[in-house]
Structure 1
Amino acid sequence: MPSETVPIEPRDSRRTAVREFKRRLIQDAAKQIFADHGIEAASMREIALAAGYSTGLIYAYFKTKEELYAEILRDSLDALYEAMVATTGSKTGQRAVAALRGLWDFYTQRPADFDLGFYLHGGARPAGLTRDLDHELNALLDRVMIHIGECLVSDGLSTPKKAHHQAVAYATSLFGLLLMTRTGRIKSVREEPELVLNTFLRAVTQKTPK
């Protein structure tokens, strides 16, 4: 009986896989360094040490720490959007609540992404990012708002003209609750995050377009 042959992976494919593996390790290390120190205080040398690579190798993947920071945020916003789309896909009549709940779940499960996404270690401003990078990241965030707006319209909770404005208003409220929860301030006003969230989501479903 002839032996089964195992296809040999092309050399280029192996190189690509190794490169992507190293890139991911660098991003994971950088994410922790940025979370601990913020973008301005972090250095490429620290990131290299945390990743277990030389500083020179880091620069072969990312020209600056700002470019690396932007890559992490880009991946985070892509993951947020994909998670929300997956959550709202089959929720007929409840897509808006599912989308907003998905936003909440994403950042409560990935608090470091929330901190980095809102530059909480850098005075809540996009320190060091170029205008082009900041514009690109803002566009990815707006894609999330557009999706929430589409869900509001499909649920009959808004009109196409007002949907984006309402989506931003609702998301802003959630970001505020996330910040209160992340900093522990919600406890200081004697409230539980989940109870406040549920009250908010019920209020969303009571809105009707005019």
Structure 2
Amino acid sequence: MAKQRAPKVQDLTQERAGALREERRAAIIEAAKSVFMRNGLEKASMRTIATEANCTTGAIYPYFQGKEEIYGAVLTESLDLLQDYIRTCIAAAETPPARARAGLTAFYDYYQDRPDELALGLYLFQGLGPNGLTKELDRALNAQLADLFTLLTDACAKAGLPDPAKTAGGGIAQAVGTLVLERTGRIRLVGQSSQDLMYAFLDQAFAGLQATP
């Protein structure tokens, strides 16, 4: 039986270097999240991000060319995690209606548990347009949002809903709107919690279907 080749020192060194690069990149993104939440994109700077990450600005540039690119990475990571969470929740449900409802509920639950990520995403659209990002980054983020919408729309279509896109879009709008009201404290004017309002929308949307997870 042939002996298994032991890994070369060079291979191990490259693996460790790659892992270290990923750790540093992740640390920069986490530090940038805090800076963006405190200062917004316009007032944030590479210097403040470097200070938060306990490194020099020069140590950031091998990973990101500017704060806009870091901001794009923050949102990209958030949308990836959101989509993974929704897929997991859809897969765990047993019937098509239950999967569709689980997907929309997962969208709401994800941002309810992570209000800072919702705030960062909404900041992108201040002034009714992309704020501070390059066209390339904006296109990439729009593609992720389109994939997310397609995922939810497909689940609604398989559930037999008459207008899947309307239900998916309405669910997203309901989730974001009620969570914004909750975050700003204005939900008390409605006299109900954001969860009550979200579930009322889902109950109405799935009326007549066996959608209970």
Residue type of the partner of 2:104?
L
Moved more, 149-158 or 68-77: 149-158
| Distance in 2 between residues matched to 1:203 and 1:166, nearest whole Å | 10
Q: Which residue of 1 aligns with 2:75?
A: 73
Deviation at 1:60, TM superposition (A): 1.6
The Cα of 1:125 is off from its aligned counterpart by 4.0
Number of the residue aligned with 1:129 = 133
TM-score using structure 2 length: 0.87
The 8 Å contact of residues 40 and 122 in structure 1, kept in 2 or not, is answered as: no
Moved more, 92-101 or 165-174: 165-174
- Partner of residue 21, structure 1: 23
Moved more, 173-182 or 27-36: 173-182
Q: Give 1:115-126 correspondences, 5 Å limit.
A: 115-119=119-123, 123=127, 125-126=129-130
RMSD: 2.0
Question: Which of 65, 80, 83 is 2:85 aligned to?
Answer: 83
Asked if 2 retains the 8 angstrom alpha-carbon contact of 1:38 and 1:122, the reply is no
Contact 1:107–1:113 (8 Å) recurs in 2: yes
Gaps of 5+ in 2: 1-5
- The one-character-per-residue Cα deviations of 1:44-76 (angstroms, maximum 9, x if unpaired) are 100000000001101121001000000110011
Counting matched residue pairs gives 200
The match for 1:96 among 96, 100, 104 is 100
Identify which range, 124-133 or 105-114, moves more after superposition.
124-133
Q: CA deviation at 1:135?
A: 1.1
Match of 1:174 in 2: 175
1:128 Cα shift?
1.3
Aligned pair 1:143/2:147, yes or no? yes
TM-score, normalised via structure 1 length: 0.88
Deviations for 1:104-134, whole angstroms, at most 9, x for unmatched residues? 1110111111011111795564221011111
The corresponding residue for 1:47 is 49
SS in 1 for 2:133: coil
**Deviations, residues 12-50 of structure 1 (Å, cap 9, x unaligned):** 000011110011110000001001110000001000000
After TM superposition, the structure 1 = structure 2 runs for residues 56-67 of structure 1, keeping only pairs within 5 Å, are 56-67=58-69
Q: Is the 8 A contact 2:125 2:131 kept in 1?
A: no
Unaligned segments of structure 1, at least 5 residues: 1-5
Does 1:203 find its partner at 2:204?
yes
Q: Percent of counterpart pairs with the same letter? A: 36
The amino acid across from 1:164 in the alignment is A
Q: 1:97 touches 1:204 (CA, 8 Å); kept in 2?
A: no
Runs of 4+ residues deviating >3 angstroms: 6-9, 120-125
